C-alpha cells in the first residue's frame, strides 16, 4: 500500500499565458501547463516520478522540510 504525503506547491500564472508550478521541497521539480488544472496534474506526476527516482537510486526523501510563511515589508 502506498503512503500518501502532502507537499506545498507554488503555482503562478505566466505572462505569456499558462501556468508555472514548483514544489519547493523537491529542488528541480517544476512544470508548465496551459491551464491551472493541467499544471497541477502535471506537477503531481512530476513529484511522484521524482520520489520514485530517489527511491530507485537508494536516496532518502525528506518530506516537509520547508516552511511557508507571510512576511510584512515596509517600502
* Full set of structural domains in the chain with CATH: 1-75 (3.30.160.250)
Q: For 33-39, which contacts have Cβ atoms below 8 Å and span 24 or more sequence positions?
A: 36/11, 39/11
C-alpha–C-alpha distance, residues 71 and 75, integer Å: 13
pLDDT digits over 40-49, tens only? Answer: 999 999 999 9
Q: pTM score, two decimals?
A: 0.77
Question: What is the DSSP secondary-structure string of 10-63?
Answer: EEEE-TTSSEEEE-TTSTT-EEEESSHHHHHHHHHHHHHHHHHHHHHTTPPPPP
The mean pLDDT of the chain is 87
Amino acid at each position: 500500500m502506498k503512503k500518501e504525503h502532502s507537499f506545498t506547491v507554488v503555482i503562478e500564472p505566466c505572462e505569456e499565458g499558462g501556468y508555472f508550478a514548483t514544489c519547493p521541497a523537491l529542488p528541480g521539480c517544476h512544470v508548465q501547463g496551459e491551464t491551472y488544472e493541467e499544471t497541477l496534474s502535471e506537477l503531481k506526476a512530476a513529484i511522484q516520478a521524482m520520489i520514485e527516482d530517489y527511491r530507485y537510486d537508494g536516496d532518502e526523501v525528506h518530506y516537509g522540510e520547508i516552511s511557508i510563511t507571510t512576511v510584512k515589508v515596509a517600502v
